[in-house]
Structure 1
Amino acid sequence: MDHADDWAAQRTEAARVQAELLAARQDAEHARAEALLREFAAAARDAGLEPGPLQVKGYGGRGTARTSLRGWYLRQDRTAGITTDGTFYVLTAPLSSLDRLRGVRPEPRRPPMILGAGGKDGSSIELAAALDRLLPGWRGA
């Protein structure tokens, strides 16, 4: 193996290790967020915070579609929510006319610790802050 091949192999291995470390960090973040949402859902039920129907918004504000989900919206723009068991959903999707008429079944997602991270300025909020807005003092209860 010449020097160029050795260098390329080292760079490939370094990239693989970095990708594994990033995946592990992301998995740990999702696990913390999932635990926080389960804890919140239990506290909300205990406090009598009434869940409501969750709807999916069409991309670009193009209508809404009902779902069978009940829970709470995490963002004021209603683009993320959790169900009564603490499952996280992104509540935006491309909606057809048929979707708006019949409703949709969104798939659960792994939650982030910061909602809207990487979005436009002022559009992100820490998950804990979003939960505190829904039920102030819930962690002390």
Structure 2
Amino acid sequence: MAGEQEAWRAERARAVEARAAAAERAAAAESARAQELIDGFVAEAGRRGVAPEPLVAPGPGGRGRYRTGLVGWYLTRSRVVAVDTDGRYYVLRAGGGLRERLTGTTVAPSDPPLVVGRGARDGEQADLADLLRRRLQE
């Protein structure tokens, strides 16, 4: 009986690892497709003369704006999702401390999704391709 339980646990662990690996591969493939869209957007924005602007991050609760040192294009009306001129994807957020208020904040790029806002608490989501297309038309 103990041997059967051990075998079952080992099989479950292998199944969990396999699912996690498959999810990682799917996420990497999605990010690669999204990055291709972003790279195309940056190139097209340059051709059309769509000027980038300094990107600022909202503070906690949307209060305050914090310099980031980044230059690029906002993709959402809330000005939280952006792409910089090097094609890196950002979700702009600042911690809200006094030091950040004075010196600016550092925002790390993240892997771009094909659906922006998927799983967010506010329930709003949009296809990345649509956001990029809209930004070029503005």
Q: Same fold (TM over 0.5)?
A: yes
Q: Cα offset for 1:62?
A: 2.5
Q: Cα offset for 1:46?
A: 0.5
Q: Cα offset for 1:60?
A: 0.9
Partner of 1:131: 132
8 A Cα contact 2:82 2:91, kept in partner: yes
1:56-135 superposed matches below 5 A? 56-120=57-121, 122-135=123-136
Q: How big is each residue's C-alpha offset from its partner over 1:76-122, in whole Å with a ceiling of 9 and x where there is no partner?
A: 10111001121111111312122112112211111111111112455
Q: How big is each residue's C-alpha offset from its partner over 1:33-82, in whole Å with a ceiling of 9 and x where there is no partner?
A: 11111111001001100111100111211211112111100111011100
Please report the RMSD computed on the Cα atoms of aligned residues, expressed in angstroms. 1.4
Matched to 1:29, the amino acid is E
Change (3 A) 1:121 1:97: closer
Instruction: Give the match's secondary structure for 1:49.
Output: coil
Matched to 1:118, the amino acid is G
Matched to 2:82, the amino acid is G
Partner Cα separation in structure 2 for residue 105 and residue 19 of structure 1: 30
8 A Cα contact 1:37 1:86, kept in partner: yes
The question of 1:41 aligning with 2:42 is answered yes
Partner Cα separation in structure 1 for residue 69 and residue 53 of structure 2: 11
Normalised TM-score (structure 2): 0.92
The question of 1:16 aligning with 2:2 is answered no
8 A Cα contact 2:118 2:125, kept in partner: yes
Alignment size in residue pairs: 136
8 A Cα contact 1:58 1:93, kept in partner: yes
8 A Cα contact 2:91 2:109, kept in partner: yes
Aligned identity (percent) is 39
Deviating above 3 A after TM superposition, structure 1's stretches of 4 or more consecutive aligned residues are: none
